[in-house]
Structure 1
């Protein structure tokens, strides 16, 4: 048996109107098509559903027993379809994003505020996690997108470059003044003479910095911190100077520090978004990523 919702709709319309012409008009079908649909339905059920004469159409006993079930089925389906439509609409307005704690705490809140102004219907769910967790969360479908530096494309993910971020030197107020060149940037040669703070040696940001600083100061002479917030706080306290990607500019505004771009050769870190390969990305993702890119671009432009 293979009764369709369309057949149930036709059956209920005939039962309601007791007239094939009116029933056909209600469900937007020809009377001939309606009659054919009814005959197929009766053949599948092996039961006459209506007594039909030239003047009237009335339910048989079998039709009367089927009517409440058909009405309930159509009503339930309409209700569930409406709920599913609401879920789909809500999902289309929601985007989940994984980011490191610094980006989640100091960049995304401002992006969300801007997005609330331009796209008030979009809901952003932020997951603050260790950088190494971002890739796995995207691959498992736990979030729609991941954002940050040092994110890689994989067989399970796609990657999009949002923008390139220059490196900046972060030091206590006035600590970098003597190291600035005519362009207001800090040269790599001048940086070598300053007390430096460092990330762990296996951190790709630090490895990039050390390549430009070579020969770098012995690592044991540099305080090493795993957390970017700690580095910035230590820079504020005058412990040393940190060299970090420019996305820390938003964070640095909350500290008594100076932020200046590193000079030639310009070293940039690529800031990416990643998504699960083959997945249909929620429409809310595009406005979020656009707002994020614009915010980072403004932050970088504001760095000295």
Structure 2
């Protein structure tokens, strides 16, 4: 049996009007098409639904039993259809992102605030997670976008480079001044002479920093921290200097630290958004990425 909603709609219209012509007009079909639809229903159900004469149409016992079910089915479908439409509209206005705690706490709030003013209908859902969790969340579809640096190419995701951000040196207020050259530049050679606050050796940022500081070997006893907020706080306390991506500038504004570019050579790190390959991003994603790119450009 393969009754369609259209057939149920035709059946209910005939039952309501008791007239094929009026019923056909209501559901915008020819009378011949309506009669054909009704015959197909009766064939599938193996039951006459109406008694028809040249002047009237009336429900049979079987038709009378079917009518409340048909009306309820159509009513339920319209209700669910309306709810799904609202869900679809809400989904189009929502974008979910995963980012590391520092980006989530010190970059995205300003971006979300700007969007609240420029696109008040949009909703941004932020998950602050460890960097290693970002790609799995994107792959599973739990979030629309992953945001961060140094994402490797993957067959399951598509990368979009938003910006190149320089590495900067962070030190306690006034501590970087003695390291500056005659033109106010801060060289990598100068950083080889000071105590460096480091990220773990396996961290991709730290590996880039250590490569620039070579041939000086990384000190085995240098302070090492997993969290960028901790590194910045330790630098503020005068326990050393740190080399970090420029997006930490927003965080550093709340600490008694100086931030200075390094170079030559100037070393940059790429900031990406990643999305699941083959997925269609919601319309809310484009304004978010544009606002994020504008925010990051202030640190470049």
State TM-score, norm by structure 2: 0.94
Q: Post-superposition shift, 1:50?
A: 1.6
Residue 94 (structure 1) aligns with: 94
C-alpha distance 93-182 of structure 1, shift in aligned 2 (>3 A): farther
For residues 87-142 of structure 1, give each alpha carbon's deviation from its aligned partner in whole angstroms, at most 9, with x where no partner exists. 22222222221111111111111111111112212222211111111112212222
In the TM superposition, 1:11-30 aligns within 5 A as 11-30=11-30
Q: State the secondary structure of the residue aligned to 1:280.
A: coil
Cα deviation for residue 279 of structure 1 reads 2.3
Count of aligned positions: 300
Following the alignment from structure 2 to structure 1, what is the Cα–Cα distance between the partners of residues 64 and 263? 86
Q: Secondary structure at the match of 2:163?
A: strand
> Could you tell me whether the CA contact under 8 Å between 2:170 and 2:241 is conserved in 1?
yes
Contact 1:13/1:23, CA 8 A, preserved across alignment? yes
Q: In structure 1, what is the equivalent of residue 260 of structure 2?
A: 260
In structure 2, C-alpha distance between the alignment counterparts of 1:103 and 1:294, rounded to whole Å? 14
Query: In the alignment, does 2:76 pair up with 1:76?
Result: yes
Residue 178 (1) aligns with residue 154 (2): no
Match of 2:245 in 1: 245
Q: Mind listing any 5+ residue stretches in structure 1 that lack a counterpart?
A: none
Structure 2: distance between partners of 1:182 and 1:53: 106
Conserved in 1, the CA contact under 8 Å of 2:165 and 2:299?
A: no
Q: Over aligned residue pairs, what C-alpha RMSD do you find?
A: 1.7
**Residue aligning to 2:136:** 136
For 2:41 and 2:182, locate their aligned partners in 1 and report how far apart those are by CA, in whole Å: 87
Query: Which region of structure 1 is more displaced relative to structure 2, 80-89 or 2-11?
Result: 80-89
Give yes or no for the alignment of 1:299 onto 2:299.
yes
Tell me which residue corresponds to 1:222: 222
Change (3 A) 1:3 1:240: same
Work out whether 1:151 is the aligned partner of 2:151.
Answer: yes
Indicate conservation of the 8 Å contact 1:153/1:274, yes or no. Answer: no
Contact 1:158 1:275 in 2 (8 A): yes
User: 1:217 offset after TM fit, Å?
Assistant: 5.1
TM-score of the two chains, using structure 1 as the length reference: 0.93
CA offsets, 1:7-54, max 9 Å, x none? 000111111112222211111111211111111111111222122222
> 1:106 — aligned with what?
106
- Give 4+ residue runs of structure 1 displaced > 6 Å after superposition: none
- CA separation in 2, counterparts of 1:50 and 1:183? 97
Q: Kindly tell me: are residues 84 and 165 of structure 1, through their superposed partners in 2, closer, same or farther at Cα, counting changes over 3 Å? A: same
